[in-house]
Amino acid sequence: MVMTRDQLDKIAWQTIHDKPVIPLSEDTGRRARNYRELEAKLQAGIEFEHAFSDFLHGFYDHKDAAYFEFPSPASLSIERQAMLAGVAEWLSQEFGLPHPAWTDDSRFFLDQPWDPWSEVGDMSEFTQERLARAPEAFRKRNLAYLSRYLITL
């Protein structure tokens, strides 16, 4: 039986939800535990994709609202700041955490659609399709960003 991408995503999200929560007090401190610490990793020279993946792994270990206590790093492009605001809002909803109030700031809403795949090459023909499929936390920010991009196991 061949599974669809949506079926595989559902299994992955269930796996993430079922992962036992590790109290923050038991954290070893290697991973960024909020966006300020993520920014410090970036300023230390770690590439965004690696630092963000590591951040997500830590969040999925702890599933704690403290991860979204601080706004997106101002040192990032406005597109990445908006993306991280959408991530904070969507993951908070997904895991039943309080809505981070800072995510409602107008600076985290883009005037033009942005697709993270545009950094890889010209994928503009698919931007509107991804924008239409994006969860509301991203779509309202004009981000063609799918929840599947947050899956890390």
Calculate the CA 146 to chain-centre distance.
Answer: 9
| pLDDT of the residue at 123 | 61
Q: How many folded domains does the chain comprise?
A: 1
Encode 50-103 in three state secondary structure: HHHHHHHHHHHHHCCHHHHCCCCCCCCCHHHHHHHHHHHHHHHHHCCCCCCHHH
pLDDT of residue 120: 58
Residue 140 maps to a domain: yes
Q: Is residue 24 part of a domain?
A: no
pLDDT at 124: 67
Domain-located, residue 21: no
Asked if residue 26 is part of any domain, the answer here is: no
pLDDT per position as a tens digit, 10-25: 999 999 999 999 998 8
pLDDT band at 140, cuts 50/70/90?
Answer: very high
In terms of residue numbers, what domain contains 81?
5-16+31-150
Can you give the pTM of this predicted structure? 0.93
Q: Encode pLDDT of 98-136 as tens digits.
A: 999 999 999 999 999 998 876 655 566 678 888 999 999
